[in-house]
Structure 1
Amino acid sequence: MCGRYSVAITVKDKHNKASRIARLLEKYQLEAQYNAAPSQMLPVVTGDKPDRLQLFSWGLVPHWIKESKQGNKPINARAESLLEKPSFRELVSRKHCLVPADGFYEWRKTAFGKVPYRFLLKSEQLFSFAGLWDEWVDTVTGEVQRTFTIITTEANELVKPTHDRMPLILSPEKEEAWLDVTNGNNMLQQFLQPFPAEEMKSYAVSTFVNSVANNSASLIKQVPEQGSLF
Structure 2
Amino acid sequence: MCGRFTLTVGERFLKQHFNVDNVDWDPSYNIAPTQDVLAVVHDGSSNRLGKMSWGLIPSWAKDESMRSKMINARLETADEKPSFKRLMTKRRCLILADSFYEWVKVDGEKKPVRIYPPDHDYFAFAGLWDRWQNSAGEKIVTCTILTKEANDTIEPIHHRMPVILPREYEQDWIDFEAKEPSEMKEWVNDVSDIPLDYYEVSTYVNSPRNNDETCIEKV
For the criterion TM > 0.5, the same-fold answer is: yes
Q: Secondary structure at the match of 1:222?
A: coil
Which residue pairs with 2:5 in the alignment? Answer: 5
Partners of 1:108 and 1:48 in 2: how far apart? Answer: 39
* Conserved 8 A contact 2:126-2:165: yes
Please point out which of 27, 33, 53 is paired with 2:28: 33
Which residue pairs with 1:212 in the alignment? Answer: 208
Please point out which of 129, 134, 150 is paired with 1:133: 129
Deviation at 1:124, TM superposition (A): 4.3
Which residue pairs with 2:139 in the alignment? Answer: 144
* Conserved 8 A contact 2:90-2:178: no
The structure-2 alpha-carbon separation of the partners of 1:141 and 1:27, relative to structure 1 and needing over 3 Å to count, comes to closer
Deviation at 1:67, TM superposition (A): 2.3
Task: Letter of the 1:48 partner, please give it.
Answer: D
Q: Secondary structure at the match of 1:28?
A: coil
Deviation at 1:89, TM superposition (A): 0.5
The structure-2 alpha-carbon separation of the partners of 1:184 and 1:70, relative to structure 1 and needing over 3 Å to count, comes to closer
Deviation at 1:33, TM superposition (A): 0.8
* Conserved 8 A contact 2:54-2:143: yes
Which residue pairs with 2:153 in the alignment? Answer: 158
Where do 5+ consecutive residues of structure 1 fail to align? 224-230
Q: CA RMSD in A?
A: 2.6
TM-score by length of 2: 0.88
Farther off after superposition, 187-196 or 38-47: 187-196
TM-score by length of 1: 0.84
* Conserved 8 A contact 1:153-1:194: no
> Aligned ranges for residues 77-226 of structure 1 at < 5 Å?
77-111=73-107, 113-138=109-134, 140-182=135-177, 184-185=179-180, 186-192=183-189, 196=193, 199-223=195-219
Q: Secondary structure at the match of 1:182?
A: coil
